[in-house]
Chain A
Amino acid sequence: MTLLAVQGLCSAHGLLQAVRTVDLSLGEGEVLALVGANGAGKTTLLRTIAGVHRAAAGRIFFDGTDITHFAPHERVARGIALVPEGRRLFLEMTVEENLRVGSAAGRKGSWDLDRVLHAFSMLQRLRKVKATHLSGGQQQATAIGRALMANPRLLLLDELSLGLSPKAIESVYVSLRALTDAHTTIILVEQDLQRSLSFAGRVACMLEGQIVAQGRANEMTREQVMQHYFGARLAAGGAPSV
């Protein structure tokens, strides 16, 4: 069953068209890795699906409903949650307060404070600590936990491992595995191609605002992804190794 359908979506930053006529569909429980070079339009696409960035053209359907003109809080209430690039925690608020804010507009469901703190056990002893005092990994765990508090059906994860230590990245992905096991639908934007390909069931490559290739992760070679990642011209000169 299709959970998310994006049709001819365009989105712009002023005169710069960051997303151009993107078509995308995602079934319930699927995990899609969205890859592409910096500036390819991945973050803008996620923010447009989340409603934080306005769509210039096209349609977004979620669970059969046209949500193109819905406000962000209406999308969160329907089950779309974004973990933004750079975490964007409320630094003057404690971990617990950050998590509770996440549930303000969310759906009723099985994710509550206790379950999030259980899933991200590192946060248990930090619940009264202000977010500004957390390490990068702890902040990322809090950001994911905050999104889960909304009981999302579709989780949008933007640059999950950016600025994290290898150990913190490993810890975050272990927690995410529990979400995929629970059939949460995920779109993952990740610079680490190897990890994206091993984590996701499907891969979509973005280049200059368009999806130039997509397919099953286990059917696409790393070289194919790299070719689309940088564009054919660079690939002809030999793509760098991942």
Chain B
Amino acid sequence: MSWADLIIQGALLGGYYALLAGGLSFLYGVMRIINLAHGSLAVVTAYVFWAMAEYWQLQPLLLILVLLPLMGFVGWCLYRLVFERSLHGGALIPILSTFGLATVLDNVLFQNFGADTRSLAPYFDTLAYDSWTLPGDIIVGQLAVIEFALAVAVLGGLHLLLTRTSVGRQIRATSEDEDAARIVGVNTRRIHALATAMAFGIIAAAGIALGLRATFDAYAGPQQLIFAFEAVVMGGAGSLWGTLLGGVTLGIAQSVGARINPQGFLIAGHVTFLAVLLARVYAGDRLRALLAARWLHS
């Protein structure tokens, strides 16, 4: 595999990570909630999809159309029942409550579906295995390209929503200063619930993408949470395009790690995450000062 091939495959994998991290980043950006149930919720969506396709033989496209708004509704309800109350309890309570939610979800899945791994690939014909050949004999999976395009579309759509619409401006206002947003008449409670619903819609898309590209089991959630978390932190928490960049960075790091050593796939991603985190902590201010000085003298 050439380096160009490696980078392309890594970047496409990063598209999935960006999609996975999109909901986490958006929820953090609007409400400063670190949703530790993020990965588990994605896996729940994959299981619900699998169960409905397996037992009810529903069409995959119909299931996508049903599951995305359904998860949005679940998000709305969870905001009203869990997040809203826990937000009033300080920074730690939302973390603890979402951790508890993740634990419950993982164990409910295990109790109902057991330890068997499952996949959504069989319900989408041969999409998971089809590919295109690019110049230079670089073969890219159609699913990977679709997931990358979906990530760009979701993050780009969110960007447009936030910058071009009244609801988007209200979300940004609430995110920046909730008290001031209430003063000018923004219904911050509704905005928070809406943002949670949107984040859960994105989580649902990521869950289906997960089920298509890989096998999953009841305890796959925490691993997905770590990938999402790494992509968000590397790209800058709350930044949508940063999330895409973080996801691509993670994907490329994992691909390069696997090239160096077949066992190095995961560890290379974690090491890159730590390196970026340390660089942000120790050199972030100096780097910003350097860039500012260059900008002033240009």
Contacts and interface: CB of A to CB of B under 8 A. Distances in A.
A72 B169 contact: no
Contacts of B179: 52, 88
A73 interface: yes
Contacts of B172: 90, 92-93, 97
A8 B109 CA distance: 56
Interface in A95-147: 97, 100-102, 104-106, 146-147
Contacts of B185: 72-73, 75-77, 81, 102, 104-106, 150
Nearest to B180: A88
Contacts of B180: 84, 88-90
A104 B176 contact: no
Interface residues of B, number: 17
Q: Which of B170, B177, B182 has the most CB of A within 10 A?
A: B182
B65 interface: no
A76 to B, nearest CB: 3
Contacts of A82: 183
Contacts of B176: 90-93
B184 interface: yes
A97 B175 CA distance: 14
A146 B170 CA distance: 13
A178 interface: no
B276 to A, nearest CB: 24
A134 B161 CA distance: 25
Contact of A88 (B170, B183, B187, B189): B183
Nearest to B168: A97
Nearest to A131: B176
A90 B177 contact: yes
A184 B225 CA distance: 53
B166 A52 contact: no
Given A76-B184, A101-B169, A105-B185, 10 more contacts: A50-B183, A51-B182, A72-B183, A88-B177, A90-B177, A92-B172, A104-B166, A104-B185, A105-B187, A150-B185
Q: 6 nearest interchain CB pairs?
A: A76-B185, A105-B185, A88-B180, A73-B187, A73-B185, A72-B182
Interface of B: 166, 169-170, 172-173, 176-177, 179-187, 189
Interface of A: 50-52, 71-73, 75-77, 81-82, 84, 88-93, 97, 100-102, 104-106, 146-147, 150
26 contacts: A51-B182, A52-B179, A52-B183, A71-B187, A72-B182, A72-B183, A73-B182, A73-B185, A75-B185, A76-B184, A76-B185, A77-B185, A84-B183, A88-B179, A88-B183, A90-B180, A93-B172, A93-B173, A100-B166, A100-B169, A101-B173, A101-B186, A102-B184, A104-B166, A105-B184, A146-B184
